[in-house]
Amino acid sequence: MEDIHVSKRHPRAESIRIRERLTGHIETKVLALAGLIAHGRGEAFDYILGEETTPSAKTAITAAAATLLLAEHPVLSVNGNVAALCAEEFVELSEATGAKLEVNLFHRLPGREEAIEAVLREAGAGEVLGVDGSATARIKEIFSDRRTVDPRGIFVADVVFVPLEDGDRTEGLVRMGKKVVTVDLNPMSRTAQFADVTIVDNVVRAMPLLVSEAERLKASSGEELKRILDAYDNARVLSESMETMLKRLGKLSERGVYLEPSEG
Amino acid sequence: MEDIHVSKRHPRAESIRIRERLTGHIETKVLALAGLIAHGRGEAFDYILGEETTPSAKTAITAAAATLLLAEHPVLSVNGNVAALCAEEFVELSEATGAKLEVNLFHRLPGREEAIEAVLREAGAGEVLGVDGSATARIKEIFSDRRTVDPRGIFVADVVFVPLEDGDRTEGLVRMGKKVVTVDLNPMSRTAQFADVTIVDNVVRAMPLLVSEAERLKASSGEELKRILDAYDNARVLSESMETMLKRLGKLSERGVYLEPSEG
């Protein structure tokens, strides 16, 4: 992106750069306006979390990589925020795990699918599902008109990676019997709660780690991968994230002097 | 607004209506894109706070009304989010306290001032400062190019009401020796910390209460109003808000079953 003009020394330079990247993608149609509000919610939770990948998030990242590698038909679901922030890592994760890429939108506005597909292609993607009218299968488990998926992708997948997903839709996927892996900064969201593996982290920090974990575990046997999953406890990961947030809020509160998510 | 088409029975109908109102105001230019991200941050903090006006917020609202009524030159600062969400209440508060209305923007994009002025006029405003090139005074205490204010308004005010304000600018106003009253859902923000009176609440809930409190206290003597302020402790109000958030997060964490801020 050419719109990066924030001093590197600004204490919140990174989050300001991410904001500019997202607002720039309103014009390209990759992002819907609601995506900006969702990003703001994420920022607040990330701030409370400490803006770091926690040890339990790392545990979840390892389990996520193992789940994707063990899957028969894994699919990586790409929405606007994800395309704007980490298209390259999605392509790399697809290559490392053999998972298909599917554009899967809550707000299917004219031109959006194409814009997201273009971002993925530019990042090196080959096959992209869910575009050009290919999202023709309806998930009856999702009670809204935003439930169409690609019959070659999410519809037949056994494992779906759906970061930053809407709660209703995650619930629908779980009801269909799919294993769901997600990234969500709010451990209390329904997506975080319903998923089989929840990475409570900023998607920008988590994706490179997930890619390298998938590459590292690629050579492992099915047995080894299964052992990772047997030892994994998502409820514990969620409650550890809550504890991290509670501790940090408590510490900030005691200190009485605060930093802030810098206001736009 | 005519864009309200969410079922009243939806558990998060109110916050979805507010979102639609805000996204609708991108087109009218009232709101900058960054305003949507800021709104998302507020949503997350409101969720953690319990989406209710707390007793300590009510105490702050009373102190805010007393501060505005005691001021010699009070000014109500209006930005895009505030204009989109509660223009009517700003006009009412201006009438109840004799405070002037000033459009005060972080992002001064072409047409924005005029759009916000139009919203204020439609809500019944008479004089509107800070528009038509009248924001000619520069605040040297604010280190950015976004520091222009109206020489008849904020520049000479003794009390400034700046809800949803940027931290740098709040700090600048405080350095100029002004009394600052704010509404901010994040008790850890620099605006919340620097202000003399911080209402930690959703501006949509707080404004009608602030208007009726100003109307109720209007007949009070200066002595009575001063007594309210002598008894008021903003640091305590902030730490009570933090405690409310900590308790609620703790309770949600114990319960293990969570609701969520519904995702866009």
For the stretch B84-109, pLDDT in tens is 999 999 999 999 999 999 998 877 77
Q: Kindly give the confidence (pLDDT) of every residue in chain A, 264 residues in length, as a single tens digit, with 9 standing for 90 and above.
A: 333 344 555 557 888 999 999 999 999 999 999 999 999 999 999 999 999 999 999 999 999 999 999 999 999 999 999 999 999 999 999 999 999 999 988 777 788 999 999 999 999 999 999 888 777 777 776 666 567 888 899 989 999 999 998 888 898 899 999 999 999 999 989 899 999 999 999 999 999 999 999 999 999 999 999 999 999 999 999 999 999 999 998 887 776 654 444 443
Structure tokens at A174: 């779980």
Q: Considering only CB atoms, which chain A residues are within 8 Å of B162? A: none
**Whole-number pLDDT of residue B94:** 98
Q: In what helix (H) or strand (E) does residue B47 lie, and over which residues does it extend? A: helix B33-49
Note whether A253 contacts B: Cβ–Cβ < 8 A.
Answer: yes
**Whole-number pLDDT of residue B9:** 54
Buried b (16+ CB within 10 A) or exposed e, A176-199: bebbbbbbbbbbbbbbbbbbbbbb
Residue B16 has pLDDT above 80, yes or no: yes
Burial level of B257, CB count in 10 A (0-12/13-18/19+)?
Answer: exposed
Residue B256 has pLDDT above 70, yes or no: no
Task: Pick the more confident residue, B141 or A45.
Answer: A45
**Whole-number pLDDT of residue B166:** 86
Residues of chain B numbered 140-169 and touching chain A (CB < 8 Å):
164-167
Choose from B6, B28, B37 for mutation: most chain A CBs within 10 A: B37
DSSP state of B231: T
Scanning every residue of chain A, which has its alpha carbon at the shortest distance from the alpha carbon of B187? A258
Given an 8 Å threshold on Cβ–Cβ distance, is B40 in contact with A40? yes
**Whole-number pLDDT of residue B143:** 60
Phi, psi of A201 (to 5 degrees): -165, 165
Residue B67 has pLDDT above 70, yes or no: yes
Q: What angle do CA B139, B233, B227 make, to 5 degrees?
A: 95
* Rounded distance between C-alpha atoms, residue B85 and residue A190, angstroms: 28
Query: Do the beta carbons of residue B93 and residue B99 sit within 8 Å?
Result: yes
Alpha-helical (H) ranges within chain A are: 13-27, 33-49, 55-70, 80-97, 112-122, 167-175, 190-194, 203-217, 222-230, 234-255
What mean pLDDT is predicted for residues B35-58?
Answer: 96
Q: In what helix (H) or strand (E) does residue B175 lie, and over which residues does it extend? A: helix B167-175
**Whole-number pLDDT of residue B263:** 40
**Whole-number pLDDT of residue B13:** 82
Given an 8 Å threshold on Cβ–Cβ distance, is A263 in contact with B33? no
**Whole-number pLDDT of residue A120:** 98
* Rounded distance between C-alpha atoms, residue B52 and residue B66, angstroms: 22
Nearest to A34 among B23, B250, B257 (CB): B23
Mean pLDDT of chain B: 89
Given an 8 Å threshold on Cβ–Cβ distance, is A40 in contact with B45? no
Residue of B213, B205, B202 lying closest to B241 (CA atoms): B202
**Whole-number pLDDT of residue B11:** 56
User: Taking phi first (over 0 means left), then psi (-120 to 50 degrees means alpha), and beta for anything else, what does residue B111 get?
Assistant: left
**Whole-number pLDDT of residue A203:** 97
Query: Do the beta carbons of residue B203 and residue B86 sit within 8 Å?
Result: yes
Note whether A38 contacts B: Cβ–Cβ < 8 A.
Answer: yes
Choose from A106, A247, A263 for mutation: most chain B CBs within 10 A: A263
Alpha-helical (H) ranges within B50-137 are: 55-70, 80-97, 112-122
Given an 8 Å threshold on Cβ–Cβ distance, is B188 in contact with A260? yes
Note whether B17 contacts A: Cβ–Cβ < 8 A.
Answer: no
Q: What angle do CA B215, B221, B224 make, to 5 degrees?
A: 95
Beta pairing partners, B201? none
Note whether A208 contacts B: Cβ–Cβ < 8 A.
Answer: no
**Whole-number pLDDT of residue B114:** 93
Residue type, A213: E
Distance spanning both ends of chain A, measured CA to CA: 20
**Whole-number pLDDT of residue A138:** 76
Strand pairing class (B100-103; B137-138): unpaired
Given an 8 Å threshold on Cβ–Cβ distance, is A41 in contact with B40? yes
Given an 8 Å threshold on Cβ–Cβ distance, is A242 in contact with B261? no
If pLDDT is split at 50, 70 and 90, which confidence band does B6 have? very low
Residue of B153, B189, B166, B171 lying closest to B76 (CA atoms): B153
Residue of A109, A172, A187 lying closest to A141 (CA atoms): A172
If pLDDT is split at 50, 70 and 90, which confidence band does B260 have? very low
User: Where do we find the tokens 């990066």?
Assistant: A4
Query: Do the beta carbons of residue B161 and residue B74 sit within 8 Å?
Result: yes
Note whether B190 contacts A: Cβ–Cβ < 8 A.
Answer: yes
Structure tokens at A256: 């009485």
Q: What angle do CA A30, A35, A39 make, to 5 degrees?
A: 125
User: Where do we find the tokens 């997202």?
Assistant: A22
* Rounded distance between C-alpha atoms, residue B138 and residue A250, angstroms: 39
**Whole-number pLDDT of residue A255:** 66
SS (H, E, C) A136-192: CEECCCCCCCCCEECCCCHHHCCEEECCCCCHHHHHHHHHCCCEEEEECCCCCCHHH
Note whether B34 contacts A: Cβ–Cβ < 8 A.
Answer: yes
* Rounded distance between C-alpha atoms, residue A83 and residue A91, angstroms: 10
Nearest to A37 among B43, B48, B107 (CB): B43
Residues of chain A numbered 53-72 and touching chain B (CB < 8 Å):
none
Q: Considering only CB atoms, which chain A residues are within 8 Å of B37? A: 19, 22-23, 36-37, 39-40, 43, 264
Query: CA of B250, closest CA in chain A: separation in Å?
Result: 7
Phi, psi of A182 (to 5 degrees): -140, 165
Note whether A262 contacts B: Cβ–Cβ < 8 A.
Answer: yes
pLDDT tens digits, residue range B169-186?
A: 898 899 999 999 999 999
DSSP state of A99: P
* B136: three-class secondary structure by DSSP: coil
Number of helical (H) and strand (E) elements in chain B, helices listed first: 10, 7
DSSP state of B155: G
Given an 8 Å threshold on Cβ–Cβ distance, is A243 in contact with B253? yes
**Which range is least confidently modeled, A127-141, B56-70, B110-124, B223-237?**
A127-141
Beta pairing partners, A101? A76, A128
